[in-house]
Amino acid sequence: MKSFPLRLHGGQLRMVWGVLAMALVHSTSADTLNFAQCVDTALKQNPGLSASRAQVQQAEAGLAQAQGGRLPKVTVSLNAVRSNDALSAFGLKLSQRNATFGDFGAGQFDPANPGVLSVAPDGLNHPDAVNNFNTRIEAQLPLYSGGMIEGYIEQAQSYIKAAQQGDQSARQQVIFQVLQSYEGVHAARAYVNVAQQGEIAAASYVKTIASLLKQGVVVKSDLLSARIHLEDVRVKLAQAQNTEAAALDQLHMLLGMPLSQPLDVGPQVTPVLLPGKIEELREQALTDNPGLNAMRNQLQAAQASVKVAKAGLYPQVGLMARQDWNDKNAGFNASSYTVGGMLSWNVFDGGTVRGAVDRAAAGKTELAARLQQAESGVAFQLNDAWRKSAEAERRVALREMAATHAEEALGLVEKRYNNGVTTITELLAARAQLDSSRADVVAAKYDLAIQRAALRLALGKLEPDL
């Protein structure tokens, strides 16, 4: 078999320059955001974080509502009524301080009539309709609620802390998702680069072997194998390009940007491995993980719910003060006041309050069990990320070594093929092995970044500054 050089011809050179030109145009027309800028945009525009912040605001409003229970409630009212009901009409006149002896039927009282006491006064039993405008200011102040108000305040305070920790957890989840998509774009582009190199080499093989076939140096099956290999590489290139587009689309959604808006990413990022032994990191995760802390505060809120429910078992004590004005017309005549104290105790309710207490206690028990389960889950996530990050670090070094060896091996096989001492099958296999090794390096580096970020996420330490 005759030796031949493997070089790029004019078509492949034009393709390379075309790819470079497209990349240049893409980079100048799209907004290029580095990782920190992507995170900042996502934290400002991500819909999930907007919902999380709204939960914090709801919890803060709940605290203001609960604290308001300690203050007096003041109401102002204006009521108008017209009635000819005997009792109501007489009562309204009394409220207006307009009652007279005549309202008692004094005009029909005849001392000379022996049956005068049995006479029914028309003015008292059949009065004319009376108009009354009542203006009232009333204040009520709770003195003792059996712990209900205090329980609501404790519950609201715990919900605020839980919402804040939940917001922090959601924030770190968004950072992790942005990192996955951001590095996913770089990984996909690395796959594209590997596939493009493979395509250039495969196209060169096809052209060179086609020329040799015309010279009768190689057999037709060599050309067919080279063409099949070229098409296979082109399929992988298309897959890599689709993966890159999907990663960019995912990043668009995380940043709250329309898919039509051009976007490009800045330099790659690889989180630094956090120092410390696995046992120390595990304890730190159980203490600092915001998701766990959110559940702990929810558990405290559940304890406060039990306190609120138990308040129904105790008496309720309060004060009341009221100022009234009653008049035929809207005004402030006939002023009167009322002050008093209130004591109420639900002595028997058929077990309603006790059922509420038991239900609140069961809810607390459920949350405690879920917290214990979540703590085990975080410990597992930390251990798993720790092991996988160490494994990925070793795999990166191994894959890079394998890629270097595959490149050297391909050079040797090409020389052997050029000298006619090996087959096209071995040559294409060596080329495929190099492409595969380079792809493995890309996958290992991506996995290393993700696993280190997952370790920080379990610790509750995932921030834009990696």
Residue with tokens 């492409």: 435
Per-residue pLDDT reduced to its tens digit, 20-64: 444 444 444 568 999 999 999 998 877 777 888 888 899 999 999
* Average of per-residue pLDDT across 364-385: 95
pLDDT at 201 over 70: yes
Dihedral angle of Cα 431, 437, 438, 443, to the nearest 10 degrees: 150
317 torsion bin: left (phi>0), alpha (psi -120 to 50), beta (else): beta
- pLDDT at position 105 is 78
| Separation of alpha carbons 139 and 74, rounded Å | 4
The domain tally of the chain equals 1
Residue 300 contacts residue 158 (beta carbons within 8 Å):
yes
pLDDT of 30 reads 67
User: What integer pLDDT is reported at residue 429 of this predicted model?
Assistant: 86
95 inside domain: no
Contact 255, 38 (CB under 8 A): yes
> What's the pTM value of the predicted model, to 2 decimals?
0.74
CATH number at residue 181: 1.20.1600.10
Distance CA(191)–CA(239), nearest Å, equals: 9
Edge-to-edge strand order for the sheet containing 73-83? 73-83, 130-144, 316-327, 335-344
Residue 429, domain member (yes or no): yes
| Confidence class for position 134, pLDDT limits 50, 70, 90 | very high
CA dist 266 and 189 (Å) reads 13
Identify whether 106 is part of a domain: no
Q: How far apart are CA 220 and CA 201, in angstroms?
A: 19
84 within some domain: no
Q: Is the pLDDT assigned to residue 388 strictly greater than 80?
A: yes
Contacts 24+ apart (CB under 8 A), 373-377: 374/291, 374/292, 374/295, 375/286, 375/292
Structure tokens at 356: 């509420």
| Cα 298 off chain centre by | 16
CA 26, CA 376: separation in Å to the nearest integer?
A: 46
Evaluate whether residue 300 is within a structural domain. yes
- 320-358, pLDDT tens digit by residue? 999 999 999 888 889 999 999 999 998 888 899 999 999
Three-class SS of residue 322? strand
**In this structure, is residue 442 part of a structural domain?**
yes
* pLDDT tens-place string over residues 56-103: 899 999 999 999 989 999 999 999 999 999 999 999 999 999 888 888
Within 8 A by CB and 6+ apart from 399, the residues are 437, 440, 441, 443, 444
| Domain-located, residue 43 | yes
Helices 352-418 and 424-459: angle between axes, nearest 10 degrees: 150
Kindly state the tokens that stand for 208: 């060179």
Flag whether pLDDT at 17 surpasses 90: no
Domain that holds residue 237: 10-70+147-315+343-459
pLDDT for residue 116: 76
Q: Which residues are paired to 274 by β-bridges?
A: none
Question: Does residue 45 lie within any of the structural domains?
Answer: yes
Q: Say what percent of the chain tops pLDDT 70.
A: 94
